[in-house]
Amino acid sequence: MKRALNFNAGPAALPEAVLQKAQGEWLNIEDTGMSVMELSHRSNTFDAIHSKSIALLKEIMDIPDNYEVLFLQGGASLQFTMVPMNLLQSDRKAYYVLTGSWSEKALKEAKKIGNTEIAASAKESNYTYIPAVEEIAYNPADAAYLHITTNNTIYGTQWKGYPQLENAPLIADMSSDILSKKIDVSKFGLIYAGAQKNLGPSGVTVVIIRKDLINSSLTNLPTMLQYETHAKSNSLYNTPPTLAIYLLSLVLEWVQDQGGVEKLEEMNTAKAKLIYDAIDNSEGFYKGHAVPDSRSHMNVTFTLPDDHATKQFLEQAKAAGFVGLNGHRSIGGCRASIYNAVPLSHCAELAEFMKKFKETYSA
Ligand code: PLP
């Protein structure tokens, strides 16, 4: 069976080796005579999987000891709410940098909880760029935190460096570029990410939170919405998404087998270059949505001369075995999501297809 040339934005391609390993253990994990889905979440076998996932993530991301790794549910979208619920004190303000629809959604939820302010925004440009760090305006005297979205899945922009804040934690939605490159976790107060792009299947959300933020979190919140609940119970307060956590553990092993995030970063840079080169060498036939220095290495967004060309491109791409190339409904055009699990060879095939399509297309 030929695997699809899968450029879906999420849920997205998983490493084939991970799926094969899971298939081999599907009916009988660790000689239990059960599928991983049938294990008690309180069993030793599941506990080992759970602990391994946390340990691997800490190792791969070099997470310092003063951080807690939590496995939650509700997707990144629930973090839009949990972050301000836990961290936005009534006498403080939450600052948001708007770089796309997901940061707008995060801000919308925070507004329901407390005082907010837009610290910088690229909305006027239809989110073609990431604001320069110097453009970010916040007041350290009243800031509860500053929130950014490190990679904008829909618009195809990505932060290359992060703001250094005084007296306020930096909070990051890293859903679509976690584990795609080396980052210094100690620069962040809290990182969250839905799993369904670089971490595994949907169903588990990773939160990496500095311990002092858990300790200073607001109390009197609904139990399940309090970081402290999950931190105190090692993310086993209630039934966790066991299958998703198991698959996460396999993806993390795969990341190690690839040589860690440094190697993945090199690979992702090479993959992105193939497609951006196809855009840049097309004499304006393809136009990138993002300005060059804000280009994402995870989601490459581009347009064609008109709707007819776009329709033809997508139809022919589909017939050639490419999946998921249509742009998000809010910006149209095309998008190739090239997360960690998308092989370089698939990006090369896409770049070649783009070149051929341009040569043969007639309006
Ligand atoms: N944030 C970003 C950057 C995303 O790309 C997405 C989903 O694509 C979300 C948040 C929402 O994630 P979820 O569907 O896990 O709530």
158 Cα: distance to centroid of ligand 1 (angstroms): 14
Secondary structure (H, E, C), 232-254: HCCCCCCCCCHHHHHHHHHHHHH
Average pLDDT, the chain: 97
**Could you tell me if the CB of 340 is within 6 A of ligand 1?**
no
Model confidence band, residue 13 (pLDDT cutoffs 50, 70, 90): very high
All structural domains of the chain with their residue ranges: 16-257, 259-360
State pLDDT tens for residues 185-204. Answer: 999 999 999 999 999 999 99
Q: Answer yes or no: are the C-beta atoms of 167 and 159 closer than 8 Å.
A: no
Q: What is the pLDDT of residue 352?
A: 98
Cα–Cα distances (Å) from 244 to 9, 35, 205, 254, in that order, read 18, 13, 10, 15
Q: How far apart are CA 318 and CA 162, in angstroms?
A: 37
Residue 2 has pLDDT above 90, yes or no: no
pLDDT at position 297:
98
The pLDDT tens digits of the residues spanning 116-126 come to 999 999 999 99
Give yes or no for residue 75 CB within 6 A of ligand 1: yes
Q: How far is the CA of 169 from the centre of ligand 1 (A)?
A: 21
| Closest ligand 1 atom number to CA of residue 195 | 15
* Whether residue 189 has its Cβ less than 6 Å from ligand 1: no
The SS3 of residue 214 is helix
CA-only gyration radius of the chain, Å? 21
pTM, full prediction? 0.98
Strand 170-173 to 157-158 pairing: unpaired
Q: DSSP alpha helices (H): ranges in the chain?
A: 16-24, 44-61, 75-87, 101-113, 211-215, 227-232, 242-258, 260-280, 307-319, 344-360
Burial class (CB within 10 angstroms; exposed 0-12, middle 13-18, buried 19+) of 308: exposed
* Ligand 1 atom closest to residue 74's alpha carbon, by position in its atom list: 16
Cis peptide before 11 (omega within 30 of 0): yes
Give me the mean pLDDT over the 148-167 stretch: 96
Closest CA to 200 of 17, 18, 6: 18
Q: Does domain 16-257 have CATH number 3.40.50.2300?
A: no
The CATH number assigned to the domain with range 259-360 reads: 3.90.1150.10
Substitution site in 175, 176, 180, 199 for ligand 1 pocket (most atoms within 8 Å of beta carbon): 175
Ligand 1 atom closest to the Cα of residue 205 is 15
Quick one: tokens of 140?
A: 């350290």
As annotated, the binding site includes 42, 76-77, 102, 153, 173, 196, 238-239
> How far apart, in Å, are the Cα atoms of 57 and each of 96, 120, 244?
27, 31, 14
Give residue 61's pLDDT. Answer: 98
Residue nearest (by alpha carbon) to ligand 1 atom 4: 175
Tell me, using a 6 A CB cutoff, whether residue 153 lines ligand 1.
yes
Distance (angstroms) between ligand 1 centre and the Cα of 79 equals: 10
CA distances from 135 to 148, 290, 303 (A): 13, 18, 28
Q: Give the tokens for residue 230.
A: 């999950």
- The structure tokens listed for 280 are 């840049």
pLDDT at 198 (0 to 100): 98
Using most ligand atoms within 8 A of CB, pick from 79, 80, 149, 153 the residue to mutate for ligand 1: 153
Instruction: Kindly state the average pLDDT of the residues 330-346.
Output: 95
